Chain A
Amino acid sequence: MSSRHHYIVGFFLSLMITFTAFFLVWRFIDSNRTGYSTAFMLSALTILAITQLIVQLNFFLHLSSRSRPNWNVTSMAFALLIVLIIVFGSLWIMQNLKYKHGGHDMPSTTDAEILQDENIYR
């Protein structure tokens, strides 16, 4: 039964990806955070999460471009656009607010730090 096969493959792949992610973090903690760099960990975990998302969309939700026009995929692409705007927009704005005295326990920032952070060169 190819449908069942679909679910089994999806389940197996998701398991592998999940174990990989947890294993990486476990190794990272074990090595007292010296094994990998934080940047590597963040990228790896992000890529693993997105990969598992695509696996589950494909194998569990049967989201592929089989029928055209595929309104499921279209509406999802739109939702994804809104999500990206909201998430990165919020992060950008809140990061920017750090430099104004908005919060009470905000560390004070020197001009030099702001210039360096925002990549402004004179």
Chain B
Amino acid sequence: MRDKDTAQRVEHMDDSKTVFGFWVYLMTDCVLFATLFATFAVLRSNTYGGPSGQELFSLGFVLTETLILLTSSFSCGLALLAAREGNRRQFLSLMGLTFLLGLSFLFLEIREFHTLAAEGNSWRRSGFLSAFFTLVGTHGAHISAGLIWMGIMMTRIYKDGFFKTSLKKLTMLSLFWHFLDIVWIFIFTVVYLIGFVQ
């Protein structure tokens, strides 16, 4: 007969295989983003007579987006800790905060895309803009997926409390969310910051 400790350990071991599998998926996602970065690097000066990054981007705006996403990654980590401790209220508050920050980030990004497109600087304008929209847009699509996932987890845990596989799933969700912040580090550096320097 298993006591509670052994049962928890066994579950944690089973968890670790699934979580590792998810980690391997993240590695492939990493390669995906690398191809989009490579494409952007090749096409960054192909502005086809149109505007370059310098003319389009705002440093303050990107800093705001970056701080929002970084804070959401932080609150996500704390949310996972709360879940590990079985603290449902704290988990929901922190995950809720993560969600709101992520949503704000997405809102700002969509607004930037809209402004660019409305001015005629859509992905059709030049190779540079095609690469920009694809890279940043793919990141935004991942953020959207993460937000949906968060919504699902929070809804279920709000209604029924933690369940057997909560922790495993929340671990994978927070890996996903941290990964997206890491990709963003390179987006804001390579696309925006270096865009101002070149």
* A-to-B contact residues, CB < 8 Å: 1, 3-4, 7, 10-11, 14-15, 18, 21-22, 25-26, 28-29, 38, 41-42, 45-46, 48-49, 52-53, 56-57, 60-61, 71-72, 75-76, 78-79, 82-83, 86-87, 90-91, 94, 105
Closest A-chain residue to B29, C-beta based? A79
User: Which residue on B lies nearest to A7, using beta carbons?
Assistant: B77
B30, A79: Cβ atoms under 8 Å? yes
Residue of B nearest to A8 (CB): B74
A sample of 19 inter-chain contacts (CB < 8 A) reads: A7-B74, A10-B74, A11-B74, A18-B66, A22-B63, A22-B66, A25-B196, A38-B197, A41-B194, A42-B197, A45-B194, A45-B197, A52-B185, A56-B73, A60-B73, A75-B27, A90-B39, A90-B41, A91-B41
Of the listed stretches B6-14, B137-145, B161-169, B174-182, chain A binds B174-182
B193 within 8 Å of A by Cβ?
yes
For residue B41, which residues in chain A have a CB less than 8 angstroms away from its CB? 87, 90-91
List of A residues within 8 angstroms of B74 by Cβ: 7, 10-11, 60
Residues of B within 8 A of A25 (CB): 59, 193, 196-197
Additional A-B contacts beyond A53-B185, A75-B27 (9; CB < 8 A): A10-B74, A18-B67, A38-B197, A76-B27, A79-B30, A82-B34, A83-B31, A87-B34, A94-B42
Given contacts A11-B70, A38-B198, contact A29 B59 (CB under 8 A): yes
Instruction: Report the contact-size class of chain B (Cβ under 8 Å from the partner).
Output: 35 or more
Q: Is the CB of A72 within 8 A of B20?
A: yes
Q: Are A87 and B37 in contact (CB under 8 A)?
A: yes
Instruction: Indicate whether B78 reaches chain A with its CB closer than 8 angstroms.
Output: yes
B31/A29 in contact, CB under 8 A: no
Q: Which residues of A contact B115 (CB under 8 A)?
A: none
CB <8 Å contact, B35 and A86: yes
List of 8 A-B pairs having minimum Cβ-Cβ separation, nearest first: A79-B27, A90-B38, A83-B34, A11-B74, A49-B189, A7-B77, A41-B197, A94-B42
Q: Tell me the chain B residues, 40-98 only, with Cβ under 8 Å from chain A.
A: 41-42, 48, 59, 62-63, 66-67, 70-71, 73-74, 77-78, 81
Q: How far is the CB of B147 from chain A (nearest CB, A)?
A: 18
Known: A14-B70, A49-B186, A105-B48. A82 touches B31 (CB 8 A): yes
Residue B117 lies at the interface, judged by CB distance under 8 Å to chain A? no
What residue in chain B is nearest A72 (Cβ atoms)?
B23
Q: Tell which of A1, A52, A56, A60 has the most Cβ of chain B within 10 Å.
A: A60
Residues on B with beta carbons closer than 8 Å to the beta carbon of A90: 38-39, 41-42
A24 → B minimal CB distance (Å): 8
Find the A residue at minimum CB distance from B35. A86
List, in ascending order, chain A residues with CB within 8 A of B193's CB. Answer: 21-22, 25, 45
Of the residues A10, A53, A75, contact of B23 by C-beta under 8 Å: A75
